[in-house]
Amino acid sequence: MKYETMLERFLGYVKFKSRSDAASTTIPSTPEQKDFLRMLKGQLEELNLSDIELNEENWFLTATLPANTDKPYDKIGFISHVDTADFNVEGINPQVIENYDGEDIVLNKELNVVMSKAEFPNLSNYKGLTLITTDGTTLLGADDKAGITEIVEAIKYLSEHPEIEHGDIRIAFGPDEEIGRGADHFDAKGFATDYAFTMDGGVLGELEYESFNAAQAKFKIKGVSVHPGTAKGKMINASLIASEIIEMFPKDEVPEKTEGYEGFYFLDEMKSNCEEGEVVYIIRDHDKAKFLAKKEFVKELVEKINKKYGREVVKLELKDEYYNMGEIIKDHMYVVDIAKQAMENLGIKPIIKPIRGGTDGSKISFMGLPTPNIFAGGENFHGKYEFVALESMEKATDVIVKIVKLNAER
């Protein structure tokens, strides 16, 4: 299948600034996301879809490609997010490399930014393909504008090929996935599908139905600041307490030393002076029991520090962020099976593995809508070395169409 407007559509999307902002309390967290969603709404209207709604309370854009048969086929949903990660998005200038030669890629000659084979051996998988890269100064935004492009192109293809029977196909584009808040407000019941897929994975073939259980631990430290010349017996240095907290964490349970199903503690942020400080960790584990044990460790750590100082020098704010969607999807494995079969029928080897992170599907699955995650095709997300192959995006779009076809064959 060919998608003649795919490249132009994707290039237009990524040039549209839509980064989210964790420090914001609005929905969505940035006004640019509203602008992008409004633009997408106009494009969906041009495709003559039904039930097009941009909900200005949760800022999800939803639409329907109506069933073209009276047969009782499943109602399927496809979901992507419009925001991009916390990296420079000013002046995104994607580069298109046709028939990539497999060698080092000079992203920015002036700044000497090179994506080398030595550092990124995965480049060898893309020789002869059409690569879309950054100019070495911004991210690309394939996470998740590749996913949006694939969904729109699939819906366009299906609307132009009415001979492909299908039930209602619902699509949703939402904000603030990168800061973990967008799906909090998703109307899963109103979406009215039997199951859904997020198009938000990485390399060709990824199919994920397990995610981390996730929490954030914020340690708020209150010290006592006095003149250092007369500090004996009086000063409590919040910066030193911050360092004590950090030293108490297991040294090998960190992102850079873990993989697969292994959980971790990640020191995400710290700021301090003598008077006060704040240390923020994120806690991750696929295993629920280990996740709970990690949270207990954090609580006990605070108790030990406060006992040592004989007063409450540390307050803990511990909040859950999302849970392992595998707990829900394991009872609905036919959803994973249809995606797996779609890939296999297309000659794509499924890569079924746990997500070392979360997607909107992590939360949506717990809303009663099983939502595994399918590859969008990009690599090296969230930075200047991000890229995607046009052919990977085309294959992701093929998977969407094939899932629809398989649903009609069941």
Burial 345-377 (b: 16+ CB within 10 A, else e): eeebebeeebbbebbbbbbbbbeebbbbbbbbb
d(CA 206, CA 349): 9
Q: Is 317 a catalytic residue?
A: no
| Distance linking the first and last C-alpha atoms of the chain | 22
Beta strands in 226-331 (DSSP E): 264-272, 276-285, 314-322
**CA-wise closest residue to 9 among 343, 397, 407:** 397
Query: In the annotation, is 83 catalytic?
Result: yes
The residue annotated as part of the active site, out of 168, 177, 379, 394, is 177
Q: Measured between alpha carbons, how far is 320 from 378 in angstroms, rounded to an integer?
A: 29
d(CA 237, CA 221) in angstroms, rounded, equals 9
Residue 206, SS3? Answer: strand
Closest CA to 39 of 64, 21, 70, 18: 18
**What type of residue is 136?**
G
Distances (CA, A) of 138 to 8, 9, 90, 200, 362: 19, 19, 7, 20, 28
In single-letter form, the type of residue at position 78 comes to F
Are the beta carbons of 237 and 404 closer than 8 angstroms?
A: no
Please state whether beta strands 113-115 and 351-352 pair in parallel, antiparallel, or not at all (unpaired). unpaired
The dihedral formed by the CA atoms of 149, 151, 153 and 158, expressed in degrees to the nearest 10 = 180
Say whether 181 sits in a helix, a strand or coil.
coil
Q: Which residues of 65-88 are buried (b: 16+ CB within 10 A; e: fewer)?
A: beebeeeebbbbbbbbbbbbbebe
Cβ-contact 391, 130 below 8 angstroms: yes
Residues 326 and 190: beta-carbon distance below 8 Å: no
Q: Which two tokens stand for residue 314?
A: 């540390």
Catalytic positions:
83, 177
